[in-house]
Every structure is written in structure tokens, then in C-alpha cells.
């Protein structure tokens, strides 16, 4: 899960020379909380976990961006670099909410590539893992296997102590595709009754929850679009 507020300081960062893919980018940052807005999306470097190493996020647009990260081979999530689109509509009033993604991710390290969807009150967090690698796992216990929004998922439900977390893990890794998010929200609210239908969906984030990337690994978002109405 991605946290919402900083809880600890970060060690030294490295220069962008360590991240050659960022050389021609219109924005880049190695700052712990570095962020910018591009094309209706907000980009975050977002290094928040204990024992984090170095990380730089770069962007050519709100939908084309990447991350270079060198986090030690230890447990615990170190960061969630992401691109965020703000929706601010209730589940009931959303006619549709879809996203296309295309990523290039490393074959080593421990991470997941995921959507992180929040209600505006931050009572509920919905994670959609489209791929993952290494020793990582969701919060909570297994609830069901469902086919929703064009994908087959294993669903987990739990709490991080601050909010409810509903995690949907794709049963096979995918580096590109389309997710129809609206049926997933309807299933949570109406089939399971885990959150109210009049809950307002605030931010839809997409990024990489990185636990370890020792030696420096690249995570590239070749294309990402998030649209709702």
C-alpha cells in the first residue's frame, strides 16, 4: 500500500547520471517528495519507506514517464513513484472509469506495478496489481477469485491500521492492457458491501511499489491514460 503522509527522512540521493533514461525528460527529480503536474496528471517521486536508497523519477508527459531506483535488498516497501489523475466523483455517479497501461519492468528486484485508488476521505484504498516480482504480497486475507474489468484477479481484504485495503492481484503478470475500473468499484460496493455506493473516488494513481531494486533498476511507463466521466 502507499502511504499518504511522510513519516521518516530519506538518506542521500544520487544525481541523474545514474538514470540515463531521464536525460531528455521535460521533468526529473531525485527529491524524496519531488512532484510536478503535466497534462492533467501529477507525478510523484514519493520515497516514503524505512531504509530507502536512491531514486529518481523523470517524465516526458503525464502519460510517459519512468523511474530509476536503487533500494537495498531488505524487506518493507520503500517507495511508490506514481502518476495521479483526480476523479472526484461518487461510485454511483461515475458513468465509466477506464485506464490503459503499457510498462517495461525489470526481471529482478521486488516490486508490484499497481493502481492505487483512494476515496476522498481516505477510508478506503483499492489496489489493482497488474504485475509483481520477488518477495511481495498484499495486505489482508484472500477473499475470492473474480473476473472483472477485463482481468482475472485474486482479491484480498485487510486494514493497514488507518484504512480498509482491498487488493486485486492479477492472476498472471501483464505489462500492457486496459482496465475497466467501474465494474470493480461496483463489485466492492454492491456485490460485497465493503464500501458505500455514494463514496467519492478521489485520486486514481498508477505506479511502482518498490521493496528492493539493488544495483539500480529502471521502471518505464511507456503509456498510461486514466479517464472517467
pLDDT (tens digit per residue) in 188-228: 999 999 999 999 999 999 999 999 999 999 999 999 999 99
Instruction: Check residue 23 and give its pLDDT.
Output: 58
Topology of 32-42+76-210+224-228 in CATH?
Jelly Rolls (2.60.120)
pTM of the predicted model as reported, rounded to 2 decimal places: 0.90
Instruction: Check residue 17 and give its pLDDT.
Output: 35
- Mean pLDDT of all residues in 9-18: 38
Instruction: Check residue 1 and give its pLDDT.
Output: 52
Instruction: Check residue 13 and give its pLDDT.
Output: 39
Tens of pLDDT, residue by residue over 48-67, are 999 999 999 999 999 999 99
The x, y and z cell numbers of residue 78, run together, are 520503500
* Residue 21 pLDDT grade (very low, low, confident, very high; cuts 50, 70, 90): low
Amino acid at each position: 500500500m502507499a502511504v499518504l503522509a511522510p513519516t521518516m527522512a530519506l538518506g542521500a540521493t544520487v544525481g541523474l547520471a545514474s538514470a540515463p533514461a531521464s536525460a531528455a525528460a521535460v521533468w526529473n527529480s531525485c527529491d524524496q517528495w519531488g512532484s510536478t503536474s503535466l497534462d492533467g496528471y501529477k507525478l510523484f517521486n514519493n520515497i516514503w519507506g524505512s531504509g530507502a536508497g536512491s531514486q529518481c523519477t523523470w517524465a516526458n508527459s503525464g502519460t510517459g514517464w519512468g523511474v530509476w531506483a536503487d533500494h537495498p535488498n531488505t524487506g518493507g516497501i520503500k517507495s511508490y513513484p506514481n502518476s495521479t489523475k483526480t476523479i472526484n466523483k461518487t461510485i454511483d455517479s461515475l458513468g465509466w472509469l477506464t485506464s490503459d497501461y503499457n510498462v517495461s519492468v525489470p526481471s529482478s528486484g521486488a516490486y508490484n506495478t499497481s493502481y492505487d485508488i483512494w476515496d476522498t476521505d481516505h477510508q478506503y484504498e483499492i489496489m489493482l496489481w497488474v504485475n509483481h516480482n520477488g518477495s511481495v504480497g498484499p495486505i489482508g486475507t484472500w477473499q475470492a477469485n473474480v473476473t472483472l474489468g477485463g482481468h482475472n484477479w485474486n482479491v484480498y481484504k485487510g486494514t493497514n491500521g488507518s484504512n480498509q485495503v482491498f487488493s486485486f492481484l492479477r492472476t498472471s503478470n501483464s505489462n500492457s492492457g486496459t482496465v475497466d475500473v467501474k465494474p470493480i468499484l461496483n463489485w466492492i460496493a454492491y456485490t460485497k458491501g465493503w464500501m458505500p455506493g455514494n463514496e467519492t473516488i478521489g485520486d486514481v494513481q498508477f505506479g511502482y511499489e518498490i521493496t528492493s531494486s539493488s544495483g539500480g533498476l529502471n521502471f518505464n511507463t511507456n503509456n498510461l491514460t486514466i479517464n472517467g466521466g
